[in-house]
């Protein structure tokens, strides 16, 4: 850990490490203004995790919005296509209500987007970076992987309308076998298909261990294609010796209209909710009129506030007392000497009782003297 790390909060250290990690893979930083035209967000409201958007009147009379999301702005401004990809990362604040919170917050996010031809390599690179991002936060992390294509292929087998499929999808996300059974019974779904849906909802384990099971559950080409993608991902991660801590969990679901392919959520020990989420979202890019596919993720840095930090018992390590006879150069050299020893130092004429310190020193004629 360098000198700066010791002075930065955990979340600040995480941001610097993530930025360095992303740049190592050729991602460049995307910067944006704090607001966009409201209509842009309104047109893509179903993609947003929040339905409440802070708006205000612009000087030209247009309705503007404080950005609730970064990905949409990246898609709006990208010039990527199938032959010329964009690799971008961001370090931005978004403005929205947090989960289970009734008030707006300024929330820090760090993430990346790969926009272009999303092939086997692109998926593997982004998933690998997601796991490495988690590992930069904690030595105990898990990346849960799902596949929207596999789930949609399974739901197609029911022959039910989209509204009922969404109800089944909600039951899968809740790992609710009874809810699945009730819906399937109500709509006359065969018992073997009902059991298959329940098994998919219950799956959870390492990607390597789950692959033989999901192959047995495949019922059509869509599911087999998705299983093949998951198998290739596991092989690629294994080749990088980075498959540990990557699990399969089909309870990770998202909007049927936008998301397709791989999806994932990341967890670290000590935080009960996901601190990272992402996946492939070709449909959204196409809806915005771009001739490209896309995959990416975001790290919710606000969830890491205070994570892994011990409460500071002291304000400084050393309080250095210097009277009026000590000259400025002597004070500066004394402080530098103590700081070179890894100490935090404050200089005062006297101990007024307001500063908490580990040791008390005085600068005298013979140098720094320890006095308590």
First to last CA, the chain: 29
State the average pLDDT over residues 63-74: 80
Expressed in percent and rounded to 5, the helix, strand and coil fractions of the chain are 40, 25, 35
Cβ-based neighbour number of residue 342 at 10 Å: 9
Query: In this predicted structure, what is the pLDDT of residue 102?
Result: 64
Rounded to whole angstroms, the Cα distance separating 39 from 43 reads 6
Mean pLDDT of 128-157: 94
Higher pLDDT, 279 or 313: 279
Say how far apart CA 217 and CA 128 lie, in whole Å.
26
Tell me the mean pLDDT in the region 102-129. 90
Give the integer Cα–Cα distance in Å for 149 and 146: 9
What are 305-332's pLDDT values in tens digits? 756 554 457 788 899 888 888 888 888 8
Distances (CA, A) of 232 to 122, 154, 188, 208, 239: 12, 20, 36, 11, 11
Q: According to the model, what pLDDT value does residue 259 have?
A: 79
Q: Annotate 254-301 with DSSP letters as a single string.
A: --TTT--SEEEEEEETT-SS-SEEEEE-HHHHHHTT-S-EEEEEEEEG
Decide the pairing of beta strands 141-147 and 104-116: unpaired
Q: What is the mean pLDDT of residues 225-250?
A: 94
Q: Which residue spans of the chain are classified as CATH 3.30.930.10?
A: 1-138+275-311, 141-268
pLDDT digits (tens, 9 = 90+) for 240-266: 888 889 999 999 987 766 778 999 999
User: What does the block give as tokens for 346?
Assistant: 């404050």
Greatest Cα pair distance, the chain, in angstroms, is 93
Write down the mean pLDDT value for the chain.
Answer: 87
Q: Looking at the domain covering 1-138+275-311, what would its CATH class be?
A: alpha beta
Across 45-54, 81-90, 93-102, 301-310, the highest mean pLDDT is recorded for 81-90
Q: Around Cβ 163, how many Cβ atoms within 10 Å?
A: 7
Contact 129, 151 (CB under 8 A): no
Beta strands in the chain (DSSP E): 28-29, 35-37, 55-57, 63-66, 86-97, 104-116, 141-147, 205-206, 246-248, 262-268, 276-280, 293-300, 316-321, 345-348, 357-364, 367-370
Query: Does the pLDDT of residue 50 top 70, yes or no?
Result: no
Tens-place pLDDT, residues 162-212: 999 999 999 999 999 999 999 999 999 999 999 999 999 999 999 999 999
Q: What are phi and psi of 274, to 5 degrees?
A: -70, 140
What pLDDT, on a 0 to 100 scale, did the predictor assign at position 131? 96
Query: What does the DSSP assignment read for 168-203?
Result: HHHHHHTT-HHHHHHHHHHTT--HHHHHHHHHHHH-
Q: For the CA atoms of 308, 301, 17, 315, what is the dihedral angle to 10 degrees?
A: -50
pTM of the model: 0.78
Domain 141-268, CATH: 3.30.930.10
Cβ pair 32, 92 in contact under 8 A: yes
Tell me the residue length of the chain.
372
């Amino acid at each position: 850990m360098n000198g700066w790390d010791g002075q930065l909060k955990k979340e600040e250290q995480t941001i610097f490490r993530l930025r360095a990690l992303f740049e190592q893979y050729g991602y460049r930083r995307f910067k944006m203004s704090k607001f966009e035209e409201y209509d842009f967000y309104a047109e893509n409201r179903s993609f947003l995790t929040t339905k409440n958007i802070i708006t205000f009147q612009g000087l030209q009379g247009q309705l503007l919005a404080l950005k609730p999301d970064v990905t949409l702005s990246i898609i709006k401004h990208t010039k990527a296509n199938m032959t010329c990809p964009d690799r971008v990362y961001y370090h931005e604040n978004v403005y929205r209500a947090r989960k289970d919170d009734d008030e707006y917050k300024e929330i820090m996010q760090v993430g990346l987007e790969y926009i272009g031809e999303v092939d086997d390599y692109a998926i593997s690179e982004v998933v690998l970076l997601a796991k490495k991002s988690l590992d930069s936060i904690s030595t105990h992390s898990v990346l849960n992987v799902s596949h929207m294509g596999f789930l949609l292929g399974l739901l197609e087998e029911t022959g039910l309308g989209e509204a009922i499929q969404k109800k089944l999808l909600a039951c899968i996300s809740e790992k609710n076998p009874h809810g699945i059974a009730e819906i399937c019974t109500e709509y006359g779904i065969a018992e073997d298909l009902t059991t298959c849906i329940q098994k998919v909802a219950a799956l959870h384990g390492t990607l390597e261990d789950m692959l033989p099971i999901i192959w047995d559950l495949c019922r059509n080409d869509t599911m087999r294609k998705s299983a093949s993608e998951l198998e290739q991902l596991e092989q690629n991660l294994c080749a990088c010796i980075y498959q540990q801590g990557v699990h399969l969990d089909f309870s990770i679901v998202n909007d049927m209209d936008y998301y397709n392919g791989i999806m994932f959520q990341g967890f670290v020990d000590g935080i009960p909710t996901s601190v990272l989420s992402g996946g492939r979202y070709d449909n959204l890019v196409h809806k915005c009129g771009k001739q490209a596919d896309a995959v990416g993720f975001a790290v919710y840095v606000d969830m890491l506030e205070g994570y892994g930090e011990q409460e500071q018992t002291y304000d400084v390590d050393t309080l250095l007392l210097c009277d009026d006879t000590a000259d400025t150069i002597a004070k500066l050299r004394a402080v530098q000497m103590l700081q070179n020893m890894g100490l935090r130092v404050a200089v005062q004429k006297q101990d007024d009782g307001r500063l908490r310190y580990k040791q008390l020193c005085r600068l005298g004629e013979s140098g720094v003297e320890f006095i308590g």
